[in-house]
Amino acid sequence: MPFHRAVAGKQELGGDRVGKKIRALSLLSGGLDSLLAIRMLEEQGIEVVGLTFTTPFFGSENAEDAAKKMGIPLRIVDISDEHLAMVKNPPHGRGKNMNPCIDCHAMMIRKAGEIAEAEGFDIVATGEVLNERPMSQNRQSLDTVAKNSGCSDILLRPLSARLLDPTKPEREGLIDRSRLGAISGRSRKPQMELAKKYGIVHYVQPAGGCLLTDPAFSKRLEVLLRDFPEAGCDDVALLKLGRFFRFENGVKAIVGRNEKNNQKIEALPESLGALVMSDVVPGPAAVVISPKSIRDVNFVASICATYADHGGSEVPIKIRYGGKTWNELVSPIEKESFLKFLI
């Protein structure tokens, strides 16, 4: 049985662990809890590598920024296709919006476990806090995530560890359990105190980076997946490009809100549908996805004319449809005639 004693944050191990650095792979979102978990591990002399994921619903920017500030290496893993398949049919259901938090956490931890096993990490760590979120971080949910992750025995939640069952790293003395946290509940006071202790000032707000927690985006995604169950990551990406319309005949359109949206819409492949954009005067670009007739295209052209920065009765609009490109003068219409289709 390995033994240890902690001295000034360092570990001395018996058996075949003597002289071997303890390594942890820790999920990093850029939020405060994940930062604190990492600092708590480092405080015990553990070498930490951050791990973050990219999907159609969140990226790695916050984690990259946090890892740079903390001075730790960061792995970035794209799980987009697998994650979207899970979002369509999450085994443990969804939260208030389209967020399948339990299955999402389990998927990320499972991926972390696979990397840990392949590369010899001793610990997989997360910043999860017991009872911080009533649905996805209660004791039953944490146990479900651990069970479905496939790496439950090396899965450590440093901030709440002393309130949970001891994991293999704790039982074998790879980490001193008595120096880990016992945080529970929704109060942020314990985390604020730890942040002050570790000198952590900059971090993102909880759940601030996941579009699946956003009510407006969730509604659009729900409509997309209902009408188009086979939707892929490229289809989901369209929902982030501006105003999303679904008309009575089922045809959908995306109308840009700003120049960045417009540039991305104008770069879309012609096979997606019709491209409509303000020509000469400032205004939005739009894509009409699989229009059923030229009437659908003309209606969206009228929407673009309405949003265009033009004082006249007719607005120059460029249309690309059916392998042809042409210009038309299009009259704006009353917003009430199309806002009812806005999702």
pLDDT digits (tens, 9 = 90+) for 80-93: 999 999 999 999 99
pLDDT digits (tens, 9 = 90+) for 20-71: 899 999 999 999 999 999 999 999 999 999 999 999 999 999 999 999 999 9
pLDDT digits (tens, 9 = 90+) for 211-245: 999 999 999 999 999 999 999 999 999 999 999 99
- Which domains are delineated in the chain? 4-211 (3.40.50.620), 241-339 (no CATH)
The rounded mean pLDDT for the chain is 91
**Is the torsion defined by CA of 13, 18, 21, 26 positive or negative?**
negative
Query: What local confidence, expressed as pLDDT, does residue 45 receive?
Result: 97
Q: What is the pTM of this model?
A: 0.85
Task: State the DSSP H helix or E strand holding residue 295, giving kind and residue range, or none if neither.
Answer: helix 294-307
Query: Residue 77: phi, psi to the nearest 5?
Result: -125, 125
Query: Which residues make Cβ contacts (< 8 Å) with residue 311, sequence separation at least 6?
Result: none
pLDDT digits (tens, 9 = 90+) for 1-20: 332 223 333 344 444 555 68
How far apart (Å, rounded) are the C-alpha atoms in residues 248 and 29? 40
Q: Return the closest-CA partner of residue 37 out of 132, 125, 154, 102.
A: 125
- pLDDT beyond 90 at 165: yes
Query: What local confidence, expressed as pLDDT, does residue 183 receive?
Result: 97
Q: Return the closest-CA partner of residue 319 out of 309, 330, 308.
A: 330
Query: What local confidence, expressed as pLDDT, does residue 17 receive?
Result: 55
